[in-house]
Structure 1
């Protein structure tokens, strides 16, 4: 094999290696997200937005790479089928995580929608406004907080650690009240 043929063969192998490396760089984001959401014994809702932002970044970074965009486009389409709009519950879980809080949510929404949809976000001919999404989640969070504060502002102090059965009953009754409200709303909707 001549020197020139050897150089061409080396260049071809380097090109293949680079393509494989780029494919792996995209797939690692999906692996991390899948691994995070596969846990059944610990909460993962608070991790959705950070993982979604990472995925949006991966799609944006690799959308113009020749071999990667072949499968990346179908993965993006499938992901956006479910998450073109981030469900509000994930926003609230994100806010309640002390690592992130409300201040970071708007930046995450802006990045997510810009990375997936560009400067003028649209999905299925419907405009998506990150500011509106943020305001809706923020409003829901404050409504939830105010309801909690109203319910427990005059409540007696929490029980001591030695009396754990009382603590459990407080949480059970709060959950029970929530379930009763849900049943009442459901029955009212059936009447109308």
Structure 2
């Protein structure tokens, strides 16, 4: 069985980007995070979930506590379940919600839902006290693997891109080597959401001065209700619809920066007018600032659309966002060849980072797409010639070889387990001439030969079948 992590699965060596982060490993049912030292939150695009936690998938538990209603005969009942030690209860528009202390997730908390969902959410977490060193994190991961009996079922581990996680993967690889598919070559998967975050940060650095002036302006005119009223008044004088208010971004979350720019650009003519009204407002964005912001926002909308596919998913999504990733790479090449020097400068820096990670994750991403019966090899054959040109078919063959190797490994693991529980002629057999022969090598050879033929036939049959029809 294949296990996927917070964003989906991948491969080999990690390019070095220094940052804090922790791994996330998952299984098809439930998740168990390990906190890390990152100061991020669930809406940070570094990961669709909170990147400060490691996710492990485990089997279901069945807590039976019931959640008392918020009021009974006009009186609020006492929260007796121990689950409330980990949650704060709040009321929003008449509905009760439970806010988890560790990840700030919001869960429904009325009597109809009970506390089972709260218990299930707690079971997703494994507390890892400091220090968050490679050895300590590996110890927590291995303990969790052993506890849920999945140490022989791991195929990939998805982690953020940092040196600590590189070391962590190396140690896990040594411990699990004999049980890993393809000898562990696909164990290390980089978090796609975090990769996009690093790419966008490189792009933002090219317009940091213009961005600072726009951010200061938005902060100045959203600081007090009086300033908000003045801003709205000037916007109406210029016949601009004020349906969407400007909101200050968080510097560590580029998606909030994109939303801030998207709104501020609509009101760019308002800011110079406001300078006449307010003598303390001096850091007004220039026309060049708005030009840079507008062009960069056009680029960011492609990244923003992809990150939306990462959020709120309870199943692997690689096959869902692979098309957008390929389109993004093709667009970045076009931007680099643009006559616009601004677009060229921004995209060149971002493309360099993109290629750094694409080279180590694209194989596993492509395998996931091939196993989607809507695409199979068709999607690969469509995009790879546009991405690799004359080298496309060698890349396609490399992906197909990986598919065959994976299936062969799966088949051999199943065979080895069945051999361990059945009576096979692998023991020492005495012949009539009192000769002692060890048949284990012969049995292994015959089994592997028939297995390879079966796997190849099965995969070829799958690839030769027509893809599932698309519903527009």
TM-score by length of 1: 0.53
Correspondence for 2:310 among 18, 27, 37: 37
Question: What is the deviation of 1:66?
Answer: 2.4
Structure with bigger strand share is 2
The structure having more radius of gyration, on CA atoms, is: 2
Tell me the alpha carbon deviations over residues 38-92 of structure 1, each in whole angstroms, 9 at most, x when there is no partner.
Answer: 5552212223531221112221232222222222111111111111355321111
Question: What is the deviation of 1:110?
Answer: 1.5
Correspondence for 1:62 among 329, 335, 342: 335
Per the alignment, in what secondary structure is the counterpart of residue 343 of structure 2?
helix
Which runs of 5 or more residues in structure 1 are unaligned? 1-12, 120-128, 156-192
Per the alignment, in what secondary structure is the counterpart of residue 23 of structure 1?
helix
Tell me how far apart the structure 2 counterparts of residues 139 and 38 of structure 1 sit (CA, whole Å): 32
Task: Work out the number of aligned pairs and report it.
Answer: 127
1:66-145 pair list within 5 angstroms: 66-84=341-359, 86-114=361-389, 129-145=391-407
Tell me how far apart the structure 1 counterparts of residues 377 and 312 of structure 2 sit (CA, whole Å): 25
Tell me how far apart the structure 1 counterparts of residues 386 and 361 of structure 2 sit (CA, whole Å): 12
Tell me how far apart the structure 1 counterparts of residues 292 and 357 of structure 2 sit (CA, whole Å): 29
Contact 1:29 1:54 in 2 (8 A): no
The corresponding residue for 1:181 is: none
Tell me how far apart the structure 2 counterparts of residues 61 and 39 of structure 1 sit (CA, whole Å): 31
Which runs of 5 or more residues in structure 2 are unaligned? 1-286, 419-472
Contact 1:59 1:76 in 2 (8 A): yes
In the superposition, relative to structure 1, how do residues 18 and 57 fare at CA in structure 2: closer, same or farther (>3 Å)? farther
1:169-180 pair list within 5 angstroms: none
Per the alignment, in what secondary structure is the counterpart of residue 84 of structure 1?
helix
In the superposition, relative to structure 1, how do residues 86 and 131 fare at CA in structure 2: closer, same or farther (>3 Å)? farther
The corresponding residue for 2:323 is: 50
The corresponding residue for 1:27 is: 300
Contact 1:45 1:93 in 2 (8 A): yes
TM-score by length of 2: 0.24
In the superposition, relative to structure 1, how do residues 48 and 135 fare at CA in structure 2: closer, same or farther (>3 Å)? farther
Tell me how far apart the structure 2 counterparts of residues 147 and 84 of structure 1 sit (CA, whole Å): 24
Tell me the alpha carbon deviations over residues 89-124 of structure 1, each in whole angstroms, 9 at most, x when there is no partner.
Answer: 11110111222211221221121234xxxx7xxxxx
Tell me how far apart the structure 1 counterparts of residues 314 and 329 of structure 2 sit (CA, whole Å): 27
Question: What is the deviation of 1:149?
Answer: 6.9
